Amino acid sequence: MSVLVLGGAGYIGSHAVYQLIDKGETVVIVDNLETGQRQAIHPDAAFYEGDIRDIDFLRSVFEKEPIEEVIHFAANSLVGESMKNPLKYYNNNVYGTQVLLQTMIEHDVKKIVFSSTAAVYGEPESTPITEAMPTLPTSTYGETKRIMEKLMKRTDEAYGVNYVSLRYFNVAGARETAEIGEDHCPETHLVPIILQTALGQRSHITIFGDDYNTPDGTCIRDYVHVEDLIDAHLAALDYLRDGGQSDVFNLGSSQGFSVKEMIDAARSVTGKEIPAKIGARRDGDPSILIAGSDKAKQVLDWKPARTSVAKIIEDAWKWHSSHPNGYRKEVST
Ligand code: UDP
């Protein structure tokens, strides 16, 4: 029996595949390699290169492989890009999930763990954010993830496809052994950009605004170690295997760190200067996002063990310093 990981060549998906294989699971990966990296694919996983919107392709994978459950990471995930190109997000994220659910139903596969986001909440009324709070996404990206959740809910009601939707806050860090890590092109996320600056690949990091209503004026986020995040996916899979009902869980650390605090933490981990300049605010950035993750701890028995800012940055630094060009072999100039 196999677990199908959609997007298993991406940053978060590849960490899931490695942990599943560590646990002795048989893994099948589907990835179109649009943002995923071939080098991030675990050598012991069966890999099918293709697009989840291509129903004939997806059906052929379900016909060849004994798939029992699906973990779905295959989506576009950049807020800024989603505002400029909303139809790309509706097509890949929403339509892709529709095709996936149809194929699952045809093949009687009735368990799915889904990669969602704190962006479904939009600007929160208060923190910490709990699952009971309203979802009012401010970006197309967040809206497509919310629609994908609704698609799963209706599909569950009609066909009994059980799902767990995991709403991620800020994911960072890398596998401790640094075989795999974070490598986006272009890079937009805070921790990799800080560490690229530490490596001298950028002259400075630009802090997007220091006039927010926070103690040091910079935005506060809740950072969760990618390996802890994947632990929650494995716990969600066990929950569904044990007959758990469809549900939604936040995944974060319940602690907030400002952009300036993250840069300071990276300075102490790396011993590098990491020059920083203040720039304009980035459109759509809420001032504070902190998760209430008690529900995942209680219901899924999730025990995040590596989620401290120092550990996140240490593991990310191991990856970036040993792979300064990410998965690309050539040396940048
Ligand atoms: N950020 C920043 N400079 C950068 C990249 C990010 O100041 O070069 C800030 C961003 O405005 C946000 C935080 O860092 O407040 C985390 O941003 P990221 O893009 O990593 O994640 P997001 O919160 O958008 O999911």
- The reply to whether ligand 1 has any atom less than 6 angstroms from the CB of 260 is no
57: exposed, middle or buried (Cβ count in 10 Å: 0-12, 13-18, 19+)? middle
Calculate the alpha carbon distances from 244 to 115, 132, 265 in Å: 18, 19, 39
Measure 170 CA to ligand 1 centroid, in angstroms: 9
Reported as a single tens digit per residue, the pLDDT across 164-198 is 999 999 999 999 999 999 999 889 999 999 999 99
| 160 confidence band (pLDDT: 50, 70, 90) | very high
Structural tokens at position 111 = 């368990």
pLDDT above 70 covers a percentage of the chain that reads: 98
Measure 153 CA to ligand 1 centroid, in angstroms: 31
Reported as a single tens digit per residue, the pLDDT across 10-26 is 999 999 999 999 999 99
Of the CA atoms within 13 Å of residue 69, those in its CB half-sphere come to: 23
Q: Catalytic: 141? A: yes
Reported as a single tens digit per residue, the pLDDT across 203-213 is 999 999 999 99
> What pLDDT, on the 0 to 100 scale, is given for residue 80?
87
Calculate the alpha carbon distances from 274 to 191, 194, 263, 320 in Å: 12, 7, 7, 14
Q: Which residue minimizes the CA distance to atom 12 of ligand 1?
A: 219
What span, in angstroms and rounded, lies between the C-alpha atoms of 262 and 259? 5
Ligand 1 atom with least separation from CA of 169: 25
Backbone angles phi, psi at 64, to 5 degrees: -80, -30
Measure 150 CA to ligand 1 centroid, in angstroms: 27
- The domains found in the chain, sorted by start residue, are 2-172+223-251 (3.40.50.720), 190-221+254-322 (3.90.25.10)
Q: Which residue minimizes the CA distance to atom 25 of ligand 1?
A: 170
Identify any residues that bridge with 291 across adjacent strands, giving them in sequence order. 129
CA end-to-end distance (rounded Å), the chain = 46
Which residue among 221, 250, 309 is best mutated to probe the pocket of ligand 1, counting the most ligand atoms within 8 A of its Cβ? 221
- CB-based contact 221:289 (threshold 8 Å): yes
Backbone angles phi, psi at 16, to 5 degrees: -65, -45
